Copies of this chain bind each other. A is one copy, B any other.
């Protein structure tokens, strides 16, 4: 790790813009870096992201970023963490709000809406690959568990006789299925597969799947 800047009492000194000096705590600096990385990804996708470009926007040296994060993948994982948090907030909102549709339908449609509104950030979750042999950190895994938990909660009403494990498996299968329709729609590939729009397809999928869960088992 290269220390390009002196660190005094936990503060980092912004340089580069001579007319304007300011100091930030490590936490403020982390947030600045993640804000910059997120807006670069929103504007240009992952391909446009570099430590140099983040550094240019926040007016620190690239070395500062490596004081705060292990590497650029680590920065991206933390932006993904924000995306997962944002998605989870939307899902928990639709779960607690009243509505005519079953909760699983509301969760699935909220997932589609989220991906449509922020396609580049949503796509980041699937586009970004860690180098082989690198494990996802525990905090990231935990966020994924929380998201799947929302769908488990949503399908719980149809699960009168299933175990917690089969409910969990079903929640994940349904999640991945909804993801399929969403990703075809976001990639603009759905028009070549079907004239149905994604909202209707998800409606069909979730309705039929829930009816299947509620149907007596042979």
Contact = CB atoms under 8 A, between A and B. Distances in A.
Interface string A46-65: 00000000000000000000
A130 to B, nearest CB: 10
B205 A211 contact: no
A204 interface: yes
* Copies of this chain, whole number: 2
A189 interface: yes
Interface string A143-186: 01000100000000000000000000110111111111111100
B169 A176 contact: no
Interface residues of A, number: 44
A176 B181 CA distance: 5
Nearest to A191: B136
A215 interface: yes
20 contacts: A136-B192, A141-B192, A144-B193, A169-B194, A169-B196, A169-B200, A170-B204, A172-B196, A173-B181, A173-B196, A173-B205, A173-B208, A176-B181, A179-B184, A180-B182, A205-B209, A209-B209, A211-B215, A212-B213, A215-B215
